Structure 1
Amino acid sequence: MKPDRRLLAMIAIWAALALPLLLFDAQTLRALWWALGAVVLIVAGLDGWRLRRMPAPLAERRLPSALSVQQPHTVRVRLTSASLRHGTLLADHHPGDDPDTGLPCLISPAEEEITELSYSYRPARRGPAEFGDLEFWVPSALGLWRGRKVSPAACTVPVYPDFSRLGQGTLDASHAFLLTGTRLKPRRGEGMEFHQLREYHPGDSLRQIDWKATARRRSLISREYQDEQNQQVLLMLDGGRRLAMPVGELTGFDHALNAALLLAFSALKQKDKAGAMLFSGDQPRWLPPVQGQQGINHLLNGLYDLHPSHHASDFSLAARQLVRHTRRRALVVLITRLQQEDRDDLMTAVSLLRRHHLVLVADMLLPEQQALSRRRPGDFDEALQVCADAQEQQARQQLHTRLRHAGALVTSTTPQQMPTQLNQLYLMLKRSGRL
């Protein structure tokens, strides 16, 4: 407990009444002063004793079953009005990474049976979010004290990557990104896998006509094909220190993880299988390919608590580990940020993976580098900076060329554009029959 303002004011008045006693030596006044102090002490003691015996307010916290990083979520605290006093101070023990929740705050009982308080919580980091108990500072009956009361409400809620875009229908292949050796020849009804028989439509090729069905029906019947299903997409996430740099409000690894999850979601919608592997992290992780719309929940639960480490990226070791896990042909998407010293190690990894899989290397380009390449230098120092960046970009392009000659597909884009571009490339590869 701690004294409230009313008790402090009473003590201050009682102390101020002692000043006349210094000027007048009156035994009666002194006795009255001490008696007044005793009354204040007794009243304060009884008020504090009653407050100590008072139970904590009946309260519960209501949270979403899962949170999304950097997205605001509503947290509701429901209290029984009969157990709540006017002027109670509520301090919810949330994880503490959001300074703008508006807590602690004063609450008073509503006229209804339940009093509800809502506040917005915006998690800043993925992983398990630890919520503690609900803490109340309750005023005593006479307002002389405030007592700390705790209502048990500790819980842990997972904070996932920002998967709000998973439900959006913006992931398509409406924009063409050219890949070496990839040619799309869209023809109605033609694909890789038989789907159904249907009546002949003008424009169908002779190869689509099912002559046996045509003879039975005595009318032209065409075969309709669809993109082959049950293929595999394996996502290799670089968990080394190179993706730990901040990019906006997130890290490069957060952007890479978002792109990987969106690509996995798209593959699952196409009835393909999606799996993931983290390499060069503190805890390397392998999630075998899964299928079905519920597979995204499996991937989210397996990846949401990952964070980049301080280790250097080892691509050849990661390639050997992936080949040990599976050799069935798949589209392997390696998401990283290439550097000049990666050349030999990366070439070894691509050569090993190419024996069994189709390899796509996604190189993350920092927005600052993209802006620097377009900047007109204003002085000598800026000219040196632009020149150094141009030299680095030239070396990066040379590495891209070597990777393409080794049989890998390469794309380079900013973190914000990577989810859409990877999805478009995957759909183009699937429809072209290369997957």
Structure 2
Amino acid sequence: MKRFFKFVFQQLESLYRINFSQRFYVTAMGLSVLFVFSFWWPVLFYLANVGLWALGVLVIFEALLLFVFGGISAERYLPKRLSNGDENPVRLTINIDYRFPFTGKWVDEIPGQLPTDNPEMKFSGRKPQEYQFQYQVRPFERGKYEFGMLNIEVTAMFGLVRRHFKLAQPQEVPCYPSFVHLRQYELMAQNTALTFGGLKKFRKIGQQKEFDQIKDYVIGDDIRKVNWAATARKSSLMVNQYQDEKAQQVIALIDGGRNMKIAFDGMDLVDYAINAALVFLNIALKKQDLVGLQCHDQQQQDWLKPSKHPQAMQLIQEKLYQFSPTFSETDFSQVYTRLRHQLRQRSMILLFTNFESERSLERQLPYFRKIARQHLLVVVLFINNTLQDMLQDPVTDSASAYRRGVAEKAQNEKQLMVRRLQQYGIHPILCRPEELTISTVNKYLELKARGLI
């Protein structure tokens, strides 16, 4: 009899992908114990036999309910592309067509590049209905992400049998640089006097050069801007109105060297730089400047000529998405040579790079000085979050004192590098990786307001 039921269970499991629950195995183990003790107490044999038949009937009954009377369908809805470093929503729709009490659990197969476990959730009900679920994924690398199957297990009222579904076909979605922040920071392009998101006011130096329009004089206008010819024609005071110079060339220069491989909060410095460059160039384009891009390491030089074409941001996004640095030592002499041939007029160059020691900066400083003679050069340096946090730790023993000394030395060396750059007319940005986007936008708007570009 036991062989017969074992054969039936194996066939059901192989044919219909039935999974037996823990409750089933506990019940079967209890019946086995009764059969063992029936050697000493024969009455237990009849109880165990009845229990075995009842277990078999319940298993067949639940299997019929799960496999004959109803089913499940599901869909997964992914964004067209993921935003790197940001929370991206994934929606699930599960349709249940069972008319008896049931419980279930779904587990989604997410890409292996994501640092979290596969999301899962339980659900239950008594009638056909549609369930809506949503979870968030936060990627830290650009590239293709492949989602697998959606696994769903359902049990009926007795909880002895589980039916396993594999739904929602595998899907592939690309992960682009953080385009979510583009909308967040676009307001900054409307007015350089905004104090939104850490933006500061800066006093403009000198006069605005580009003519905008002739308007009626109002109290407070500069009397030196009175247009006497227009005043004679209109018989009322007219003044010239000027605006900031536009159509300046702004270049984002991203270093793919080994110093940019350092990771903070799961994301490499080069990806922080790529996300910040995308927002920075979008702001510059909104300010009607010409935006360009150069990504480089030892083996490749990706170049986009400065442009204010409506499709410029789309091209920049594609270039940033495809950039795969080798993280080898960067030859800045080649960078300088290429910039000299590619840029014929003075431009603002925002260089995303990193130096951990003053000696490494000194090796590249001659090339930075040559670039700064022809262009407005801004160099980004990153604060090491780990060392910075060490400065807040209390000193309790010699080991903690040593760590504090190392952190203070690193901090002082960064400040020396900042002053060294300023000595040669290079504008530095020293910030934490997570503050890079707002810091670069602030620096651009500051230089724009001061009339340096």
Indicate the TM-score class for this superposition, using the shorter chain for normalisation: 0.7 to 0.9
Tell me if structure 2 keeps the 8 A contact 1:130–1:154.
yes
Q: How many residues align?
A: 421
Q: In the alignment, which residue of structure 2 is the partner of 1:210?
A: 227
In structure 1, C-alpha distance between the alignment counterparts of 2:300 and 2:166, rounded to whole Å? 37
Q: CA deviation at 1:35?
A: 10
Q: What is the CA deviation profile of residues 6-31 of structure 1, one whole-angstrom value per residue up to 9, with x for unaligned ones?
A: 643564465455347645899xx89x
In structure 2, C-alpha distance between the alignment counterparts of 1:3 and 1:134, rounded to whole Å? 20
RMSD (Å), alpha carbons? 4.3
Alignment of 1:3-402 (within 5 A): 3-5=20-22, 7-8=24-25, 11-12=28-29, 15-16=32-33, 18-19=35-36, 22=39, 57-69=72-84, 71-82=86-97, 86-95=102-111, 97=114, 99=116, 103-109=119-125, 114-127=129-142, 128-139=144-155, 144-159=160-175, 160-161=177-178, 163-164=180-181, 165-166=184-185, 169=188, 170=196, 174-176=200-202, 184-185=204-205, 191-205=208-222, 208-248=225-265, 250-280=267-297, 285-291=302-308, 296=313, 298-304=315-321, 309-338=326-355, 339-343=357-361, 345-354=363-372, 356-369=374-387, 399-402=417-420
Tell me if structure 2 keeps the 8 A contact 1:76–1:116.
no
Tell me if structure 1 keeps the 8 A contact 2:391–2:407.
yes
Q: What is the CA deviation profile of residues 277-318 of structure 1, one whole-angstrom value per residue up to 9, with x for unaligned ones?
A: 322288754444453787555544543576765423332233
Moved more, 379-388 or 239-248: 379-388
Q: What is the CA deviation profile of residues 96-119 of structure 1, one whole-angstrom value per residue up to 9, with x for unaligned ones?
A: 636477x433323575x6522324
- Gap regions ≥5 residues in structure 2: 1-17, 189-195
In structure 1, C-alpha distance between the alignment counterparts of 2:298 and 2:160, rounded to whole Å? 56
The partner residue of 1:423 within 441, 444, 453 is: 441
In structure 1, C-alpha distance between the alignment counterparts of 2:264 and 2:38, rounded to whole Å? 70
In structure 2, C-alpha distance between the alignment counterparts of 1:43 and 1:110, rounded to whole Å? 19
Q: CA deviation at 1:334?
A: 0.8
In structure 2, C-alpha distance between the alignment counterparts of 1:142 and 1:376, rounded to whole Å? 58
Moved more, 263-272 or 72-81: 72-81
Tell me if structure 2 keeps the 8 A contact 1:163–1:258.
no
Q: CA deviation at 1:331?
A: 0.6
Moved more, 394-403 or 348-357: 394-403
Q: In the superposition, relative to structure 1, how do residues 18 and 333 fare at CA in structure 2: closer, same or farther (>3 Å)?
A: same
Amino acid at match of 1:8: Y
Tell me if structure 2 keeps the 8 A contact 1:74–1:118.
no
Q: TM-score normalised to the size of structure 1?
A: 0.76
Amino acid at match of 2:171: C
Moved more, 147-156 or 51-60: 51-60
Tell me if structure 2 keeps the 8 A contact 1:237–1:279.
yes
Tell me if structure 2 keeps the 8 A contact 1:244–1:309.
no
Question: Identity over the aligned pairs, expressed in percent?
Answer: 24
- SS of 1:433's equivalent? coil
- SS of 1:79's equivalent? strand
Q: CA deviation at 1:332?
A: 0.4
Q: In the superposition, relative to structure 1, how do residues 363 and 83 fare at CA in structure 2: closer, same or farther (>3 Å)?
A: same
Tell me if structure 2 keeps the 8 A contact 1:193–1:227.
yes
In structure 2, C-alpha distance between the alignment counterparts of 1:80 and 1:383, rounded to whole Å? 61
Amino acid at match of 2:90: V
Tell me if structure 2 keeps the 8 A contact 1:238–1:278.
yes
Q: CA deviation at 1:198?
A: 0.7
Q: What is the CA deviation profile of residues 168-199 of structure 1, one whole-angstrom value per residue up to 9, with x for unaligned ones?
A: 652575245xxxxxx8336xxx5222211111
Q: In the superposition, relative to structure 1, how do residues 70 and 406 fare at CA in structure 2: closer, same or farther (>3 Å)?
A: closer
Amino acid at match of 1:105: M
- SS of 1:58's equivalent? strand
Q: CA deviation at 1:247?
A: 3.3
